[in-house]
Structure 1
Amino acid sequence: MRNKLLLAGLLLGATPAAQAQHQHQHQMAAMSHATTAGKSMQAVAAPGSPVLAFQRGMDSVMVVMDEGMRRMDGASPTDIDASFAAMMVPHHQGAVDMARLQLLYGKDPALRRLAQSIIAEQQVEIQQMQAWLREHPVPTTSAVPASPAHSHH
């Protein structure tokens, strides 16, 4: 709880540039984790083991989540609200997929309950954000302008 309050205080007091840098660092750390940490851990896991399957699954989830966040389906990069919703959908889906991997391979009862809660709550939030994106479609800028009416003089 103390860490959450500290983080909230830091983010609320930070400038937009500092917040953007923090978000970028978070994304880079996630990308780094997906591409390096998983691979180094896989060298320790026995081939065919549940540990290796879990690690590969997590690496795959991170790659898909990162690509989805970069693609921002359904949003213009200049629309803050749409960008938030479009980036959070794959972020939450990644959390749901990670929680499913925990249910497949994890044994701890408390973490299994947490994983079930993550799946239930974040699926509802994904649906809410997708509905918002459908209600706020991206304005089309590539539409062909209507040709002026030809007049015969």
Structure 2
Amino acid sequence: MNRALILCASLAFIGLASPAVAQDHTDHQMPGMDMSNDPAAAAYKAAMDKMHADMGSVQPSGNADVDFARGMIPHHQAAIDMAKAQLEYGKDPEIRKLSEDIIAAQEREIKQLQDWLAKNAPK
């Protein structure tokens, strides 16, 4: 896992642990960007909005490991969704390869988290 992904995961988890701070994620519009005319930006925003909603619905269990795993699944899914949007709209071969690698890695990690939760999460 690269440093940027670790940072994103850490920040996302802090948002999960701090509901008062994580409340306002409704507008991810970048300054000067009209997303209605940019399907890639709209797809990235949709992925982030879904991630925040899904992460926000995770109920704390009192077990830091379980809560981390439950929060990381939607975070990883958002990375997959954004990478798929990049593949649909992007053109740069290096970034396209990175998007393919991100999809493969995040799918593996989601499976690992799901398997771990199946064995360890309270029922």
TM-score, structure 1 length as denominator? 0.61
Distance (whole Å) between structure 1 residues aligned to residue 72 and residue 81 of structure 2:
14
Query: Could you say what secondary structure the match of 2:33 adopts?
Result: helix
- Does residue 23 of structure 1 match 2:10? no
RMSD of the alignment, in Å?
A: 3.1
Query: Could you say what secondary structure the match of 2:46 adopts?
Result: helix
Aligned to 2:55: 69
- Does residue 117 of structure 1 match 2:93? no
Distance (whole Å) between structure 2 residues aligned to residue 117 and residue 124 of structure 1:
11
TM-score, structure 2 length as denominator? 0.75
Paired residues, number: 111
Aligned to 1:130: 114
| CA shift for structure 1 position 41 | 1.3
Q: Which has the higher contact order (CA 8 A, sep 6+)?
A: 2
The letter for the 2-side match of 1:57 is A
| CA shift for structure 1 position 42 | 1.7
The letter for the 1-side match of 2:33 is M
- Larger of the two Rg values belongs to structure: 1
Q: Unpaired segments of 5 or more residues in structure 2?
A: none
Over the matched positions of the two proteins, sequence identity in percent amounts to 32
Q: Does the CA-based 8 Å contact 2:28-2:45 persist in structure 1? A: no
Q: Unpaired segments of 5 or more residues in structure 1?
A: 9-18, 47-51, 140-153
For residues 77-115 of structure 1, what are the alpha-carbon distances to aligned partners after superposition, in whole Å with 9 as ceiling and x for unaligned?
311000000000000000000000000000011100000
